[in-house]
Chains A and B, each alone.
Chain A
Amino acid sequence: MLQINDLHASVDDKSILRGINLEVKAGEVHAIMGPNGSGKSTLASVIAGKEEYEVEKGQIVLNGEDLEDLAAEERAHKGIFLSFQYPVEIPGVSVTNFIKTAINETRKAKGLEDMPAKDMLKLIREKSELLEIDRKFLSRSLNEGFSGGEKKRNEIFQMAMLEPKLAILDETDSGLDIDALRIVANGVNKLKSKDNAVVVITHYQRLLDYIVPDFVHVLLDGRIVKSGGKELAHELEEKGYDWIKEEVNA
């Protein structure tokens, strides 16, 4: 599904990613962990195609296609979804209107007609039930005045609507209380299938109790320095990151 080879990226001439290698296959869940400033969010943004980041070297390949020349929206059309750590507010644009636009723009890119209103309605009903989202919530302005939990739930709702091939969840657990965390994680688990893949970026092990990863990678100073199974996450939770730093520097 996703293949990252020797990826180097910088922002404002500051080098952040320094040789990332990662392979994610369909049906897998990968967790990327690491201390603050290790490059986790940068990796997510670079995969999604944020313009401020300059890819200096290496490739990102999705289902055999090099993404280098594709703009962010084209990558989205190919099935990449990023759940933002800090979702932005768009006043006056309802959740429904926004997701409708996103779905129809994606369909347009694929040469399809707009989704018929009744299908859209059915899909919205289905997915909002799945994520225990109140109907009134859908008419509110996108992320405006949303609590931390509502913002994240809205991200996962959009993910459910867009049915991406590769979902990257950037610090989805931050700002969530335990109930919200459970709902969000349940949602992600229900959306998981053998045809899609999930990359969970997180600081803490907490979320991984709910979304259980097949692989855990540790990111340090722009490189993946250690990979392992889900037990690695527990080890990190117990011992912190220092022992890995020592191991790397040894």
Chain B
Amino acid sequence: MSKYTEDDLREELKTKEYEYGFYTDIESETFPIGLNEDIVRAISKKKEEPEWMTAWRLEAFRVWESMEEPDWANVNYTKPDFQAIAYYSAPKSIDPNKTLDDVDPDLLAMYKKLGISVDEQKKMNNIAMDIVVDSVSVATTFKKTLAEKGIIFMPISEAIQEHPELVKKYIGTVVPTKDNFYAALNSAVFSDGSFCYIPKGVKCPMELSTYFRINQAGTGQFERTLVIADEGSYVSYLEGCTAPSRDENQLHAAVVELIALDDAEIKYSTVQNWFPGNAEGKGGVYNFVTKRGLCEKNAKISWTQVETGSAVTWKYPSCVLKGDNSVGEFYSIAVTNNYQQADTGTKMIHLGKNTKSTIISKGISAGKSQNSYRGLVQVSSRAENARNFSQCDSLLMGNECGAHTFPYIEANNKSAMIEHEATTSKIGEDQIFYCNQRGIDTEKAIALIVNGFSKDVLNKLPMEFAVEAQKLLEISLEGSVG
């Protein structure tokens, strides 16, 4: 009798490949590997940047040179050789004055594979989209529709040309060049990313979306996103990421800065699905990202993230609650499987009076992976009546993975109220059998249990994204119960 056991299932699923692991052969222009001042200048020149921008980059580069790569995170990996990476790679056949119709057919085919045909996106969804492949922004849809409301949504390289006053005023104000090693590196070499400005009192009528993909081998991706919500405005912003399967590790070091002025609200949602490496832990993206938002008076910033990809993740989307009555939220699902390592969480810095923050973190670990939550809640002496609620839940599958929680609390004002709750649970064989007995097979049972566990966070995602995120959770965890 051959029974289809748990082990058979696991074995069979191991061969399932990373769904987005294709490579598109597009002619591209890649700079020589290595990093020095000349490369930084060359990137800036390539982008025809004004002098202030070149100077800003060079300053960042000099700071970076004097810095050391941080090693306090709960992750182990071979440090990248920063002189073995190409810092600029652009699909060659892109005309700077492109419209959607002129986009390389190979590129368009690639979007189709990704399930994000630009054409369809344009027609069917109320989502304006900027797509960054390797380092360059290739298509921004809905630009005109948005322009009628005074909303600016464009590649940051264009914004530097067309709206230098805004870029110059805000870039590096939330994440300074010398903030950390990767932020400094990004500031020196970023080649593109998205820029968004919502004018006073405007509610952005559609979701804005950026899609990132690394395609070229041996390149790093360093995109830079800057979102400014002027007084009383509102915007919901989505960000998705994939990369092809490769044996070597690829580096991704992005910076995202959000600025919510008085009474403004920014919702920033991410579904991160960079290549996690294969089942033996070979390859995969190093995702070292700095994301931070600044809230002025009565402003609100919500970060929602679903992290299923990358070999190593180092990421702490944070809120600086500068203005009185401002609100920061962080909702996160981080999934690790096989040999993935994630050290992720948030920082809530309470500076203003009556500031409030909420942290809901759901970590799911399977295989031989390690999943850490790291969070800081800091209340300054001036922040009267600050409130924080944190909840960190971990779900374990099998006996070889790890879940860790590192909460840091610094309260310097006696009126602060800080609550922290944490739980750890395991998907049990009893749960699986219960589902099986009701006619639900093991794979579906895991999906059901994981979705239930993640519900509080999935509910925070915009509708279209929530469906995609649910699917992604299922794919990431297939065959991982032991």
- Residues in A whose Cβ lies below 8 Å from that of B37: none
- Residues in B whose Cβ lies below 8 Å from that of A99: 438
What is the minimal beta-carbon distance from B77 to any residue of chain A, in angstroms?
A: 33
- Residue contact B440 to A71, C-beta cutoff 8 Å: no
What is the minimal beta-carbon distance from B200 to any residue of chain A, in angstroms?
A: 40
Residue B410 interfacial (CB < 8 Å): no
| Complex CA–CA separation, A142 to B448 (angstroms) | 11
What is the minimal beta-carbon distance from B277 to any residue of chain A, in angstroms?
A: 29
User: When A68-B1, A90-B431, A92-B451 are in contact, do A76 and B436 touch as well, CB less than 8 Å?
Assistant: yes
What is the minimal beta-carbon distance from A74 to any residue of chain B, in angstroms?
A: 9
Q: How many residues from B make CB contacts under 8 Å with A?
A: 30
| Complex CA–CA separation, A109 to B440 (angstroms) | 10
Q: Encode A61-75 as 1/0 by CB contact (under 8 A) with B.
A: 000000011011100
- Residue contact B452 to A90, C-beta cutoff 8 Å: yes
Residue B449 interfacial (CB < 8 Å): yes
- Shortest Cβ distance from B3 into A: residue: A69
- Shortest Cβ distance from A91 into B: residue: B452
What is the minimal beta-carbon distance from B470 to any residue of chain A, in angstroms?
A: 12
- Residue contact B452 to A158, C-beta cutoff 8 Å: no
- Shortest Cβ distance from A168 into B: residue: B437
| Complex CA–CA separation, A80 to B236 (angstroms) | 48
Q: Which of B1-27 contact A (CB under 8 A)?
A: 1-6
- Residue contact B441 to A69, C-beta cutoff 8 Å: no
Q: Which of B435-482 contact A (CB under 8 A)?
A: 435-442, 444, 448-449, 451-456
What is the minimal beta-carbon distance from B180 to any residue of chain A, in angstroms?
A: 35
Contact among A82, A92, A142 for B437, CB-based, below 8 A: A82
- Residues in A whose Cβ lies below 8 Å from that of B451: 92-93
- Residues in B whose Cβ lies below 8 Å from that of A50: 433
Q: Which of A153-172 contact B (CB under 8 A)?
A: 158, 162
Residue A102 interfacial (CB < 8 Å): yes
- Residue contact A92 to B436, C-beta cutoff 8 Å: no
Residue A213 interfacial (CB < 8 Å): no
Name the residue among B5, B452, B453 with the largest chain A CB count within 10 angstroms: B452
- Shortest Cβ distance from A161 into B: residue: B438
| Complex CA–CA separation, A92 to B448 (angstroms) | 9
- Residues in A whose Cβ lies below 8 Å from that of B429: 51-52
| Complex CA–CA separation, A82 to B123 (angstroms) | 49
- Residue contact B436 to A98, C-beta cutoff 8 Å: no
- Residue contact A72 to B436, C-beta cutoff 8 Å: yes
Residue B148 interfacial (CB < 8 Å): no
Residue B408 interfacial (CB < 8 Å): no
What is the minimal beta-carbon distance from A141 to any residue of chain B, in angstroms?
A: 7
Q: How many residues from A make CB contacts under 8 Å with B?
A: 34
- Residue contact B6 to A51, C-beta cutoff 8 Å: yes
Q: Which of B312-327 contact A (CB under 8 A)?
A: none
| Complex CA–CA separation, A77 to B440 (angstroms) | 9
- Residues in A whose Cβ lies below 8 Å from that of B441: 71, 73, 105
What is the minimal beta-carbon distance from A153 to any residue of chain B, in angstroms?
A: 16
- Residue contact B454 to A92, C-beta cutoff 8 Å: yes
- Residue contact B5 to A102, C-beta cutoff 8 Å: no
- Residues in B whose Cβ lies below 8 Å from that of A82: 437
- Residue contact A102 to B452, C-beta cutoff 8 Å: no
User: When A51-B5, A92-B452, A93-B452 are in contact, do A105 and B444 touch as well, CB less than 8 Å?
Assistant: yes
| Complex CA–CA separation, A102 to B7 (angstroms) | 24
What is the minimal beta-carbon distance from B442 to any residue of chain A, in angstroms?
A: 8
What is the minimal beta-carbon distance from B187 to any residue of chain A, in angstroms?
A: 40
Residue A37 interfacial (CB < 8 Å): no
- Shortest Cβ distance from B440 into A: residue: A105
Residue A88 interfacial (CB < 8 Å): yes
- Residues in B whose Cβ lies below 8 Å from that of A131: none
- Residue contact A73 to B454, C-beta cutoff 8 Å: no
Residue A39 interfacial (CB < 8 Å): no
User: When A51-B6, A68-B1, A93-B448 are in contact, do A88 and B439 touch as well, CB less than 8 Å?
Assistant: no
User: When A71-B4, A88-B428 are in contact, do A162 and B439 touch as well, CB less than 8 Å?
Assistant: yes
- Shortest Cβ distance from B447 into A: residue: A101
Smallest CB-CB A-B distances: 6 pairs? A92-B452, A93-B452, A72-B436, A76-B439, A102-B438, A106-B439
Interface residues of A (CB under 8 A from B): 48-52, 68-69, 71-73, 76-77, 81-82, 84, 87-88, 90-93, 97-99, 101-103, 105-106, 109, 141-142, 158, 162
Besides A76-B438, A82-B437, A90-B448, 9 other A-B contacts (C-beta < 8 A): A69-B3, A72-B436, A73-B436, A91-B452, A93-B449, A98-B448, A102-B438, A105-B438, A162-B438
11 contacts between A and B (CB under 8 A): A49-B437, A51-B429, A69-B2, A71-B4, A76-B438, A82-B437, A90-B435, A90-B449, A91-B453, A105-B444, A158-B438
